Amino acid sequence: MSEIVIEEVSDRGMIDLKGDPAAPGFRNGVASVLGLDLPLEPRSSAASGETTVLWLSVDQWLITVPYDQAGQLTARLAAALAEHHALVVDLSDARTIFRLRGLGAREVVMKGASADLTHTDYRAGTVRRLSFAELAAMVHVVSDTPEILDLYVFRSVGHYVREFLETAARPEARVVLWGRSE
């Protein structure tokens, strides 16, 4: 059985966007800067090149880009949306992202999560805000095969979540659900 690899993703910048997707021109304004349309389907995401947009709520998205582009992109988005009711904040340092790779990554996250990620609802591209180890968190299913999950938590508890994940992922405690193993 393959090992679950856990690593911290430190090169992603994160921009929090709030606004009304139904307002005329808002989505076009965002698309003109990002080069992709905002995902509107709940718990979905959209990606193009190095930009990924995660749906957080009916009026909120998290845009992830290479870290050193976040500041400039925030300014460009804010400028493009200047005439709109919108709030763009560079929150690149607010969260810690843990990337889990390997078949069984879902089970590792499920040891702290409030949802069953092996459900067919959670295919690649799905974003789900949930409680993880009793903390506010978010899971982004990056890829089904190979299995890659990104777990977003707030920075101040990153050390705790790392310890939780490493504890949950130790080989002696491996859980295989419904034969999910090679």
> For another protein, which residue of 4, 19, 30, 54 counts as binding (CB under 8 A)?
19
Q: Binding to another protein by residue 175, rule CB under 8 A?
A: yes
Q: Choose between 13 and 39: whose C-beta lies nearer to another protein.
A: 13
DSSP assigned state of 35: S
- Which ranges of the chain would DSSP assign to H, the alpha helix? 26-34, 70-80, 105-110, 158-168
Residues between 20 and 49 that touch another protein (CB under 8 A): none
131 sits in which H/E element? strand 127-132
Toward another protein, which CB reaches closer, 22 or 177? Answer: 177
| CA end-to-end distance (rounded Å), the chain | 7
Are the CB atoms for 138 and 54 separated by under 8 Å? yes
- Output phi, psi for 159, to 5 deg: -60, -40
Sign of the Cα torsion 35, 70, 74, 158 reads positive
Residues 6+ apart with CB under 8 A from 134: none
For another protein, the closer of residues 28 and 131 by Cβ is: 131
Minimum Å distance from CB 33 to another protein? 18
CB of 10 to another protein, least distance (A): 8
Contact mark string toward another protein, 77..96, x via CB under 8 A: --------xxx-xxxxxxx-
Asked if 178 is part of the footprint of another protein (rule: CB under 8 A), the reply reads yes
Supply the DSSP symbol for 37: P
Interface with another protein by CB under 8 A: which residues? 16, 18-19, 59, 71, 85-87, 89-95, 107, 110-116, 118-119, 133-135, 154-157, 159-161, 163-164, 167-168, 170, 172-173, 175, 177-179
